[in-house]
Structure 1
Amino acid sequence: MKKYPSYIALFVVLVLSSCKKEEATKPKVIYENNAKSKTVMVADTTQIEVADLPITMEGTNFMIYPIGVMSGNAKSIKSDSEPSFTVSNYGEFQITGYLKNLKFQEIGKDTIYALTDKQVLIETATYLKSVADKTNQQLLVYSLADMDTNKDGKLDNSDIKSLYISTIAGNKFTKLSPDLQELIDWKIIESKNLLYFRTVQDASKNGAFGRNDIVHYFYVSLSDKEWKPVEFFPLQ
């Protein structure tokens, strides 16, 4: 067997390492000098949308259809890449995936309608079961991308994640986190019926999020008719 010189192997390692480093340091935000300038997201006509079979959260009266994009090669049965018709996973009252939308249908009715008409990429949709048990409020909390923040012409998991909330019926779909702030995490304080979350702001304007940027803290009263985040300052 022919052996390649060691310097060729070293070259390959360096190239791969460089590619991985470039991918890892790709900015999540690109700031434009012209505030009116917008990057147009071009629809990928090769993508085939598919809906998973409906999901019903325990104790609710609505079915939820995850809507995503078929992966693999769906055009040829002879392809090495078999198509996947599944776009989501479900467990512990949470739907996960890279979803373009969710659609809702009240049990016993024929109408199916979309959560939003905006371009989004939903990574998680979580049913607040503990809140429903204590207050009879049936709510969904979402982590998703809603802006092409890195200006690459597409919406994907390289863009900033935001926090949203809606009713179990998909109504009152409301953004909670500020624009251009990356969602860190969120949690529910059941005894107070409050949703707490943290975001990080790119204070250095370098397009990435690091130790020198600003962490913001918010809470939202789920008892209020309008879900309005209130910023607080636990470090002061």
Structure 2
Amino acid sequence: MRISSKLLLISSVFLLGCGVISDHSANNELTYKDTAANFQPIVTDFNNPVLLDSSQNVLFPLANPTDDDRMSFKSSEQVSYWNIAFYNSLSKKYHLLDNRKMIILQYEDQKELSSGTDVYSSEAHDPNPAQGLNIDGKLICYSVIIEDFNKDQKLTYADPKYLFTSDDAGNNFKQISPTSLNVVSWQRVAKTNKLLIEVQSDSNNDKLFNNKDHMVPYVYDLKKGGPAEPVFSKEFNQAVDKLFKEQWPDAKK
């Protein structure tokens, strides 16, 4: 009788265990089906996530549909983005960088910013988790086209590139380079925490930015904020031009 009782007890435990596993599998299957049913296909393509060093924030660049002829920023030479989604993996909150129409050509990490990457020759940032975008714990820099400068009713690579910044959560997105001046390159002066920005002016008023236009250095104070300022005064520039013409009268400038 004792053996029979033990066998009965073991059998009951085994059957109970099987029942629990069966219910758990059914619940998982139901959950997976519900999750799949809630998936909503969208037009937007979310690129690979970019992890920020020492931060819970994650970037999801939104690639431009370069295979769509209707988009004015179509280009086969450079990857660009029409926006960036920021996601806080701790709070689960998310938002877009900005709601304006724009072309984001580049966003910079600390290594690239310190070396002064040329925004023309550099490709868009490679989303490598080992290369974070956390600059001084807060700052991210962007090369952005946002103004229809030549008034052709669309944004194109012919329009000026402006330098924008935000914190590492994608907040306080703002333009720091002067309007109507095309940003060619920038680099950080680490000891003074300033950005040196090289810009082009449309000096011949042809609504184009090329080697016929003048290059002008600007400086932006990351701590002080405010607008970027010319490195040299108007009086100094005039004195330099005068000296150049006196010493090199036959040279074209």
1:230 and 2:229 matched: yes
Q: Residue 179 of structure 2 corresponds to which residue in structure 1?
A: 179
Mapping of residues 206-225 of structure 1, within 5 Å: 206-211=206-211, 213-224=213-224
> Taking structure 1 as reference, are residues 136 and 156 closer, same or farther at Cα in structure 2, changes over 3 Å only?
same
Q: Which runs of 5 or more structure 2 residues have no equivalent in the other structure?
A: 1-42, 69-77, 115-131, 241-253
Cα contact 1:97–1:122 (8 A) shared by 2: no
1:59 to 32, 40, 54: 54
Structure 2 equivalent of residue 68 of structure 1: 63
Q: Check conservation: 1:62, 1:105, Cα contact below 8 A.
A: yes
Q: Which residue of 2 aligns with 1:118?
A: 100
From the superposition, tell whether residues 170 and 195 of structure 1 become closer, same or farther in structure 2 (CA, over 3 Å): same
CA RMSD of aligned residues (A): 2.9
Name the residue aligned to 1:103.
Answer: 85
The amino acid across from 1:198 in the alignment is E
Tell me the amino acid that sits aligned with residue 65 of structure 2. M
What is the CA–CA distance in structure 1 between the aligned matches of 2:204 and 2:65, rounded to whole Å?
A: 38
In structure 2, C-alpha distance between the alignment counterparts of 1:189 and 1:230, rounded to whole Å: 15
Identity %: 21
Counterpart Cα distance in 2 of 1:198 and 1:185: 5
Q: Distance in 1 between matches of 2:109 and 2:143?
A: 12
The structural deviation recorded for 1:210 is: 4.4
Give the superposition deviation at 1:227: 4.2
Q: Which amino acid aligns with 2:189?
A: I
Alignment deviations for residues 157-187 of structure 1 (CA, whole Å, 9 cap, x no partner): 2221111111111111111111111111100
Deviation at 1:208, TM superposition (A): 2.1
> 1:127–1:139: 8 Å Cα contact kept in structure 2?
no
Corresponding residue of 2:40? none
SS in 2 for 1:49: coil
Give the total of aligned pairs.
167
Amino acid at match of 2:61: P
TM-score by length of 1: 0.62
Deviation by residue 1:120-176 (Cα, 9 ceiling, x = unmatched): 10000112368899x843211111100122333222322211111111111111111
Equivalences for 1:12-23 in 2 at 5 Å? none
Q: Quick check: 2:106–2:143 contact (8 Å CA) kept in 1?
A: yes
Shift of 1:119: 0.7
Please state how far the C-alpha of 1:230 moved relative to its aligned partner: 2.0
The answer to whether the Cα contact below 8 Å between 2:45 and 2:62 also exists between their aligned partners in 1 is yes
> Which protein is richer in strand relative to its size?
1
Q: TM-score, normalising length from structure 2?
A: 0.58
Aligned partners of 1:128 and 1:141 also within 8 Å: no
- Written as runs of structure 1 = structure 2, the 5 A alignment for 1:156-175 is 156-175=156-175
Contact 1:163 1:177 in 2 (8 A): yes
Aligned equivalents of 2:193 and 2:164: distance in 1? 17
Which residue of 2 is the match for residue 87 of structure 1? none
Contact 2:184–2:199 (Cα < 8 Å) also in 1: yes
Q: Whose Rg is larger?
A: 2
Q: Which amino acid aligns with 1:69?
A: N
Q: Structure 1: 5+ residue runs without aligned partners?
A: 1-47, 74-95
* Closer, same or farther: CA 212–149 of 1 in aligned 2, 3 Å: same
Match of residue 92 from structure 1:
none
Alignment partner, residue 150 of structure 2: 150
> Do 1:128 and 1:138's aligned partners in 2 also have CA atoms closer than 8 Å?
no
